[in-house]
Structure 1
Amino acid sequence: MKLQVHSIHFDADKKLLEFIQSKLNKLDTFYDRITGGEVFLRLDKGESSKMKNKLLEIKINLPGGSLFVKEIGRTFEEAVDIAIEALKAQLKRFKEKLQEKSNATREVLTTMSMAMES
């Protein structure tokens, strides 16, 4: 999958970028028509805590639509794992809707062909 990763106000290391790419490549097993995606990495500077939370946004492009997920974690790896699970669920729902549409179209075509034959 062609993936663009944007790290906002910091430089992401190569290991993190490879981790993100490998995790997102696994989404192809759920839906092989993914055309690409964008990942945004941000550091959330909370006033109350000295530790910075990691914000992750992923947008996946598909024929006929796109999927989006936004997650927060203590590390980017944790946020990626959570986001992947959310994207898997979204991909499954997307595929179900596509299948429902194709089944409805097939039924209409079958009905029309039967009507023409009579």
Structure 2
Amino acid sequence: MKVNVQAVNFNVDKKLVDFLQERLDKLEKYYDKIVMSDVFLKVENTSDKENKTVEIKISVPGDDLMVKKTCKSFEEAVDLCASSLERVLVKRKEKLRAHI
């Protein structure tokens, strides 16, 4: 799956991009018709420790799925986003099966 990573106001390191790619590739186990995904990484300007926001938009035929999480680290936020997307993709696949 093609993953587009966009970092807002900072430079993203190779390790984080590799982690993202690896984690999002696992989503294809749950739903194999994923076209591509866009990942937006942002550091919020707040005094709060949980200031790292990750938005993941996944394109599937006929729809776009979007998840947004804010955590202390990007890795934690990516993990939470991926878990949410797994649930959404499983639901979507079950709905499609019900119509067939």
Same structural fold, with TM-score higher than 0.5 when normalized by the shorter chain: yes
Contact 1:44–1:54 under 8 Å retained in 2: yes
What SS does the corresponding residue of 1:66 show, helix, strand or coil?
A: strand
Instruction: Give the superposition deviation at 1:34.
Output: 0.6
Q: Which residue among 66, 69, 75 is the counterpart of 2:67?
A: 69
1:18-71: CA deviation from partner (whole Å, max 9, x where unpaired): 10010000001111111101000000111x44x461000000111121211000
Greater RCO (CA < 8 Å, at least 6 residues apart): 2
Say if 2:11 is the partner of 1:6. Answer: no
Question: Higher Cα Rg: structure 1 or 2?
Answer: 1
Q: CA deviation at 1:79?
A: 0.1
Is structure 2 residue 20 aligned with structure 1 residue 20? yes
Unaligned 5+ segments in structure 2 are: none
**Equivalences for 1:47-62 in 2 at 5 Å?**
48-49=47-48, 51=49, 53-62=51-60
Deviation at residue 94 of structure 1 after TM alignment? 0.6
Q: CA RMSD in A?
A: 1.1
Partner of 2:32: 32
Higher strand share: 2
Q: Is the 8 A contact 1:57 1:69 kept in 2?
A: yes
Task: Calculate percent identity across the aligned residue pairs.
Answer: 43
| Deviation beyond 3 Å, 4+ runs, structure 1 | none
- Deviation readout 1:81-103 (Å, 9 max, x if unpaired): 1111100000011111111222x
CA distance in 2 between partners of 1:93 and 1:52 (Å):
29
Higher share of residues assigned helix: 1
